[in-house]
Amino acid sequence: MRSPTRRTLLTAAAALPAVALAPGVSDAEVVSAWKPITLTGAANAFADAPPQARVVRVAGTDFLQLRGGAHVSYTADSPLGTLPSGLRVPKLTRGLCPRNNHNGLSVCRVEADVRGVLIVLGGTTASKITWVRLDGFSSVLS
């Protein structure tokens, strides 16, 4: 049997649902269950979907996954919050997340640094980010 390619691993991780791994999926496991992200500044969690993070392993590769969202008011690159203790990334990792559609922009970049700080990038005075949805963020940790 061939080893999975990086593309296959990324596709599998992106296909994992945010709520749980499907029963019977082989080579996939939850390493760390969903834990709350501590928001910073004026970020306010969505009432029905507060920001959370977890780690899953697919075919031996760990992925950071995020879900939930927050109302924000960003006109520059800004910190959103901090990953839960125990969920730190070994290197800068990034992904694209939905945001309010303004001037044709409907996604922003979200980065997690080695300190566990989540940063939302892409807000400007001409294209203010008023909310960000973290569902779908899945990034390789190693």
Nearest alpha carbon to residue 110 among 50, 71, 66: 66
- From residue 50, give the alpha-carbon distance in Å to each of 35, 40, 71, 94: 10, 13, 10, 20
Give the range among 3-7, 48-52, 127-131 with minimum mean pLDDT. Answer: 3-7
pTM (predicted TM-score): 0.80
Rounded to whole angstroms, the Cα distance separating 88 from 121 reads 19
Pairing of strands 117-121, 61-67: unpaired
pLDDT in tens, 100-141: 997 788 999 999 999 999 999 999 999 999 999 999 899 998
Rounded to whole angstroms, the Cα distance separating 80 from 52 reads 12
Pairing of strands 38-39, 44-45: unpaired
Mean pLDDT of 46-56: 96
